[in-house]
Amino acid sequence: MKKVAIRDAYGEALKKLGLVNEKIIALEADVGASTKSAVFGKEFPDRYFNVGISEMNMTAMAAGFALEGFVPFVNTFASFLTTRGADPIQCLIAYDRLNVKLAGTYCGLSDSYDGASHHSITDMAFVRAIPGVTVVSVSDAVETEKAVFALAEYEGPVYLRLSRAPAPVIYDETLKFEIGKGIVIKEGSDVTIIATGTVLHKALEAAKLLSEEGIEAAVIDMHTVKPIDRELIYSYAKKTGAIVTVEEHSIHGGLGSAVAEVLVQECPVPVEIIGAEEFAESGDYEQLLEKYGYSSREIGAACRKVMARK
């Protein structure tokens, strides 16, 4: 499977968007070469504001631009954006319902060699808890570009979760991306795997392995974690009777929590949540995914476990 780094896809998408929409501006906190916001900055120097290493000021400034009718894309590592930049995200951007797009890159363990200090496993929990903030987490390069354009069309604050890692390209250009609508990638009747972000391809691998054992797992790309696609979750809970969620994020407050919250209200079925339960460490990304529970083998094991609980 061809791999493309999500961050590269993001940088190019933002530039493309800038060409057709002059209201787009970008803010950066000195990691533009990493987030790839610099690709936009090179094309549109007048609409690019590198504020240095000051994330809190960056998110506050974004509020000001949005209040004036611009559509700011705010760029830095997911971890720093949602910790150092958190206060204005909550107090200004969300409270004042501003049209700011918060692009947090290097999500999950994807900044693997930099270590746990640079990993981001709590970002979705924070932004998801804030009233009115939409949370989108993309799985490949094609979806990244579609999401960037969809965000610009959508009026309101959105957190866009991006990975550093080269990710297998799952979709082709025919992808129809709609905020709030999960995508069924593979049908199945025994169990449903709901994944978000680049670990989606691990879920697909797991489903393939399960299929060889005679277990048919449905696989859903839940790219919008909030507002979550309740109807799709109910429909697959009823159809398959068991659900496994996969996210490169803490098991507290992310996709697994969101799915479980919805299920207990209307259609309680057994759920297994795959995610982070501890801080990880430096290392090769694939090796980290393996060590910290994101291998297709472990996803498969979770499927068998949850099926036994039906």
Partner 1 sequence: MNAERQQELQRLCFRFRNELIDLLYHIQTGHPGGSLSCTEILTTLYFEKIRQDPRHPDMEGRDRLILSKGHAAPILYIILAELGYFPKEELKTLRQINSNLQGHPCLHKTPGVELSTGPLGLGLGAGLGMSLSERLKGSEAYTYVVLGDGEIQEGSVWEAALAASKFQADHLIAILDNNGVQLDGTLEEIMPMGDIPAKWAAFGWKVLTCDGHDVKSISDALDKAVACKGKPVIIIANTVKGKGISFMEGKNVWHGKPIGEEDYKAAKIDLGGAPA
CB of 30 to partner 1, least distance (A): 12
The mark string for 9-48 relative to partner 1 (x by CB under 8 A, - otherwise) is ----------------x--------------------xx-
| 133 binds partner 1 per the rule CB under 8 A | no
* Contact residue for partner 1 among 63, 147, 244, 289 (CB under 8 A): 63
Strand partners, 183: 221
For residue 214, give every residue at least 6 positions away whose Cβ sits within 8 Å of its Cβ, in sequence order, or none.
Answer: none
| 131 binds partner 1 per the rule CB under 8 A | no
Nearer to partner 1, 61 or 203 (CB): 61
Number of H helices, E strands in the chain: 13, 14
Residue 55 appears among annotated catalytic residues:
yes
Residue pair 11/38 in contact by the 8 Å Cβ criterion: yes
Strand partners, 167: 4
Nearer to partner 1, 85 or 241 (CB): 85
* Contact residue for partner 1 among 60, 148, 193, 306 (CB under 8 A): 60
Catalytic residue among 12, 28, 55, 143: 55
Tell me the backbone φ, ψ of residue 124, rounded to 5 degrees: -65, -35
Length of the chain: 310
| 67 binds partner 1 per the rule CB under 8 A | yes
Residue pair 244/269 in contact by the 8 Å Cβ criterion: no
CB of 76 to partner 1, least distance (A): 13
Q: Which of residues 174-203 bind partner 1 (CB under 8 A)?
A: none
**CA 299 to chain centroid:** 19
Residue pair 37/73 in contact by the 8 Å Cβ criterion: yes
Residues of this chain that interact with partner 1 (CB under 8 A) are 25, 46-47, 49, 51-52, 54, 56-70, 72, 87-88, 91-92, 95-97
